[in-house]
Amino acid sequence: MTDGLDACFVGVPLDAGCSNRSGTQFAPRYLRCESPNGPVNQGTGVNPFLTHNVADIGDVWFNLYNLPEACRNIREQYQAIINNNCIPLTMGGDHTITYPILQAMKDKYGPVGLIHVDAHPDLQDDVLGSRICHGTPFKRAYDEGLLDYSSVIQIGLNGTGYPSDDCVWTVRDIGRNLDFRVMKAQECWYKSLEPLMAEVRQQMGEGPVYLSFDIDAIDPSFCPGTGTLKLEDSRPSKPLNSSEGVVA
């Protein structure tokens, strides 16, 4: 399906890795629906379609009821795309999907660089005993050596976490323990981002790089549809027999 393509748009409508609000499964279809496109970006004067073959290859398939199995399915289909020298332009899907995509990238390129734009570091080790969900992809990437840490930057962090030290990496911890470069959201405000972008280009060098963009990097006043803002999971965090005071 990707024969002759330089890049492809591909959807991964995964929802099952969310916590607060489902709905990411609809994003691929609505991105297609609401995305008029003309050939020229007059700002740059470039018409990429004159120099690149690009197609929308549809959505990948995955097991709906088993997140680890879904990740295996996604990894396989991304291997097929990447091994065919086609660059995937992914429409997610919750952030679980980045884990199998990075696995497929490593299968071909070895550890890759990462530009991760997000309010949250998504570096939890597990959530509710699950090691695979939208809170854990970059911890899995770290554990499996999928990333070239000298070429990793997380931009826009403004997140919150759960009240246990061994399952959350605070912003302070990231820098100290994982060698990721981190830019908090507040460091991005009220200034041009051109200098930062120039630095990032330089940091990435010539190697393969993966760009992961989470909509909650944009302030919720503009993008309110996201699931986890700066608040916690909306479900009760303990069973109903708990005595911890909140009655919703």
Compute the least distance from the CB of residue 135 to its own copies, in Å.
Answer: 10
143 is in an annotated binding site: no
Closest CB to its own copies among residues 2, 212: 2
Compute the least distance from the CB of residue 47 to its own copies, in Å.
Answer: 6
Closest CB to its own copies among residues 70, 147: 70
Compute the least distance from the CB of residue 171 to its own copies, in Å.
Answer: 9
Closest CB to its own copies among residues 128, 205: 128
122 is in an annotated binding site: yes
125 is in an annotated binding site: no
Compute the least distance from the CB of residue 92 to its own copies, in Å.
Answer: 14
Closest CB to its own copies among residues 77, 154: 77
Instruction: Quickly list DSSP for the chain.
Output: --TT-SEEEEEE---TT-SS---GGGHHHHHHHT----S-BTTTTB-HHHH--EEEEEE----TT-HHHHHHHHHHHHHHHHHTT-EEEEEESSGGGHHHHHHHHHHHHSSEEEEEE-SS----S-BTTBSSSTT-HHHHHHHTT-EEEEEEEEEEE-----S-GGG---HHHIIIII--EEEEGGGGTTS-SHHHHHHHHHHHTTS-EEEEE-GGGS-TTT-TT-S-SSS--SS-SS-TT--S----
214 is in an annotated binding site: yes
List binding-site positions.
95, 118, 120, 122, 214, 216
Binding residue positions for Mn(2+): 95, 118, 120, 122, 214, 216
